[in-house]
Amino acid sequence: MSMFYSDPNAIRPYESIPEGHKAGSVLERTLRNGEFAVTSELNPPDSADPEDVFAAAKPLAEVTDAINATDASGANCHMSSIGICSLLTRTGHGSVYQISCRDRNRIAIQGDVLGAAAMGVRNVLCLTGDDVGAGDQPGAKPVFDLDSVSLIRLIRTMRDEGRFLSGRQITKPPRLFIGAAENPCVDPIEFRAERLAKKVEAGADFIQTNYIFDIPRFERFMARVRDMGLDKRVFILAGVGPLASAKAARWMRSNVPGIHIPDPVIDRLEKAEKPGDEGARICVELIQQVKEIAGVSGVHIMAYRREHLVADILREAGIARTRKETV
């Protein structure tokens, strides 16, 4: 037995995959069992110390089905997604490997996909990526050899057909549960559902949406999704998160593409004695509301620099449960 597999916490990518599953991750099993799934994002460190990753993952590991490792989100450099996922899998935590098309071409991406799968990563999220102009190194050269739809199709080809885009065969295909992102509350809403359909056709198994703060808009989106039958073909996790203050909400609304925050939400934060607590309460209410919308299979909690609140938010929302299984 290899040294890697002699580690009792190591995840074995070709073992324990239930029949009919793509990868057999905890996230996939939770969703296919009809349970309400929870994923969350880890704030990646500006550090080479693995203990910084473990500290960031600690408040999330026992209350989520998988932890997203962001890939230079906002075009800002941090520890790599594949590095974080490697550390998480070696300690038995389920991870979502985010891949941005901004920084790597198809050759590098296909190699990274094989490497991630070999390390035990079983979930992947395909993203086009923010433009380099949004980050703190705007002089970087963008790649964008692929976009999110063609990336989904690429990974499905590797997984299901066992070949690279060149046609060359892969000896052991990667076993991955393929995800994509969507912005459901940005006009035109109908276009967003059409965009989602393209990602489902390309091979997406699950969707994590951007932040939702406007339930009526999200309900319109989900109604269109149901009309198109997409809710039967893909698992949708609604994106939520605790706002820290009215100032932070206004900044997000003005500077982060794809986010719609209604004035009444900002007004609540403005009037609150403790805006941070009010932001957490709003998040709890949003989770309770999206959970009742037909076609929603879970939530994706984005609590940037507020990861310590996630467990309490889930408990207050009535969906907390301890995750003891690994992968």
Q: Which of 181, 185, 179 is nearest to 258 (CA)?
A: 185
Q: What is the pLDDT of residue 114?
A: 97
First-to-final CA distance of the chain: 20
Residues 124 and 155: beta-carbon distance below 8 Å: yes
Q: Please, which pLDDT band fits residue 84 given cuts at 50, 70 and 90?
A: very high
CB-CB neighbours of 248 under 10 Å: 17
pLDDT(53) > 50: yes
Q: What is the pLDDT of residue 101?
A: 93
Q: Please, which pLDDT band fits residue 323 given cuts at 50, 70 and 90?
A: low
Q: What is the arithmetic mean of pLDDT over 30-44?
A: 95
Q: Please, which pLDDT band fits residue 12 given cuts at 50, 70 and 90?
A: low
Residues 64 and 49: beta-carbon distance below 8 Å: no
pLDDT(140) > 90: no
**pLDDT tens digits along 239-274:** 999 999 999 999 999 888 778 999 999 999 999 999
User: Which H or E element spans position 300?
Assistant: strand 296-301
Q: Does residue 289 or residue 323 have the better pLDDT?
A: 289
**Measured between alpha carbons, how far is residue 146 from residues 69, 108, 122 in Å?**
20, 12, 21
Q: What is the pLDDT of residue 177?
A: 98
Percent of the chain with pLDDT over 90: 74
Q: 169 burial class (0-12, 13-18, 19+ CB within 10 angstroms)?
A: exposed
Q: What is the pLDDT of residue 6?
A: 44
Which three-class secondary structure state does DSSP give residue 125?
strand
pLDDT(13) > 80: no
Pair of tokens at residue 30 = 């939770």
**pLDDT tens digits along 295-309:** 999 999 999 888 899
Q: Which residues contact 137 (CB under 8 A, 6 or more apart)?
A: 75, 76, 77
**Measured between alpha carbons, how far is residue 286 from residues 213, 219, 238, 253 in Å?**
7, 12, 10, 17
Q: Please, which pLDDT band fits residue 145 given cuts at 50, 70 and 90?
A: very high
CB-CB neighbours of 97 under 10 Å: 30
Q: What is the pLDDT of residue 72?
A: 63
Pair of tokens at residue 300 = 């994706």
User: Which DSSP letter does residue 79 get?
Assistant: S
d(CA 244, CA 70): 20
pLDDT(224) > 70: yes
Angle in degrees, CA 175, 70, 168, rounded to 5? 35
pLDDT(135) > 90: no
Q: Which of 71, 159, 145, 70 is nearest to 101 (CA)?
A: 145
- CATH T-level topology, domain 3-242+296-317: TIM Barrel (3.20.20)
Q: What is the pLDDT of residue 189?
A: 82
d(CA 218, CA 184): 6
**pLDDT tens digits along 196-211:** 999 999 999 999 999 9
> In the block, which residue shows the tokens 């990861």?
307
Q: What is the pLDDT of residue 2?
A: 43
Q: What is the residue-averaged pLDDT of the chain?
A: 90
pLDDT(8) > 60: no
pLDDT(214) > 70: yes
Q: What is the pLDDT of residue 75?
A: 65
Q: What is the pLDDT of residue 187?
A: 84
What is the C-alpha R_g of the chain? 19
Residues 144 and 102: beta-carbon distance below 8 Å: yes
